[in-house]
Amino acid sequence: MKYLDEYRDAAGVHVLAREIKKAAHGNWALMEICGGQTHSIMKFGIDELIPQNITLLHGPGCPVCVTPVELIDKAVAIAAMPQVIFCSFGDMLRVPGTQNDLLSVKAQGGDVRMVYSPLDALKLADANPTKEVVFFAVGFETTAPANAMAVFQAKERGIKNFSILVSHVLVPPAMEAILSSPRNKVQAFLAAGHVCTVMGVEEYKSIAQKYKVPIVVTGFEPIDIMQGILMCVTQLEEGRAEVENQYARSVREKGNLPAQNLVSQVFTIVPRAWRGIGEIPQSGLGLRLPYAAFDAGKKFPVSQIKSQESPECMAGLVLRGEMKPFDCPAFGKRCTPDRPLGAPMVSTEGACAAYYRYWKRKEVDEVETHG
């Protein structure tokens, strides 16, 4: 299959591993800011192929993981209302709120449905005019165009029983929040290829210049990630801090301009709270005034809901790259995919879920091999 098998070629990966080892003389800390990349790193053992003087940190690259618990509680409250059909992507259904998750609401009789697109939810609204259909709009810049299109179409077609609960976050402000922290360890970034497919690379240039960090837009397969690491290491060793595009087969300099224009028409940039991190200025999207009628957070009486993160969940430290998942005392014990304390353990892009699935498997394999 084009652009799959060749990017998982084991011989090519090992060639790149040797090139990285040859190029890396200093001690460098790189952060990937995409949950898909995190899972590929763990699944394919990339963390074990690179030399020990290179550390991979896992950033807030999972939009489900950074959705604050307060918004989960609001989603649960809306979903439990008898007149509501609540729609979401599947990876949000088991993310824990303070007391409950969306799957539990469904088990208790709530009309909670998994959909594959916000346009599926819009079809449901059109077909069920006596119901209020709400879509949980979670994501980075990647999913914003589809959510914008759903709202745009709802307004154009006069579908008034459709709304979205917005939890859109933006990657560049989160990168700046990490780099400006006094506890920052990051010296270079592997930027998320799918985000840049929509937004292009312009936004990253000022960050690279301001903080003197290389930023390499990177894909998701083993060859992609190894090439991205090599490009970051080469820049660090040469004292450069530039934006480079490893994922050129998908990402263009300016990105997808029609998608950007649609997002700008429907959404405006707002402050946004990130789970475990706190509020980051200008880091989210909210609906513009002409589309305010489609804001579920205002349409339903949930503004009074205020929630606190679980003090036992170390998600914030993991999402900021200050802790590896296995360093959390609850990891694999009081926090598992079946009984998660936080979103990073249950999301398909969460770092804790990746470590539980692949790192724990490595431990078992070693015991079985040497035991």
DSSP H or E run through 319? helix 315-319
Beta bridge partners of 132: 84
> Which segments of 158-238 does DSSP mark as H helices, in order?
171-179, 193-199, 202-211, 222-238
* All domains of the chain in start order, with CATH: 5-61+171-245 (3.40.50.11750), 69-170+255-299 (3.40.50.11740), 315-370 (no CATH)
Beta-bridge partner residues of 137: 166
Torsion sign (Cα): 93, 94, 95, 99: positive
Alpha-carbon distance of 225 to 219, in angstroms, equals 6
Give me the tens of pLDDT residue by residue for the chain, a chain 371 residues long: 456 677 888 999 999 999 999 999 999 999 999 999 999 999 999 999 999 999 999 999 888 999 999 999 999 999 999 999 999 999 899 998 999 999 999 999 999 999 999 999 999 999 999 999 999 999 999 999 999 999 999 999 999 999 999 999 999 999 999 999 999 999 999 999 999 999 999 999 999 999 999 999 999 999 999 999 999 999 999 999 999 999 999 999 999 999 999 999 999 999 999 987 889 999 999 999 999 999 999 999 998 998 887 788 898 889 888 889 999 999 999 999 888 888 899 888 899 999 999 976 555 444 344 44
Q: Give the chain's count of helices (H) and strands (E).
A: 17, 11
With b for 16 or more beta-carbon neighbours within 10 A and e for fewer, the 244-266 pattern comes to bbbbeeebeeebbeebbebbeeb
- The whole model's pTM is what? 0.91
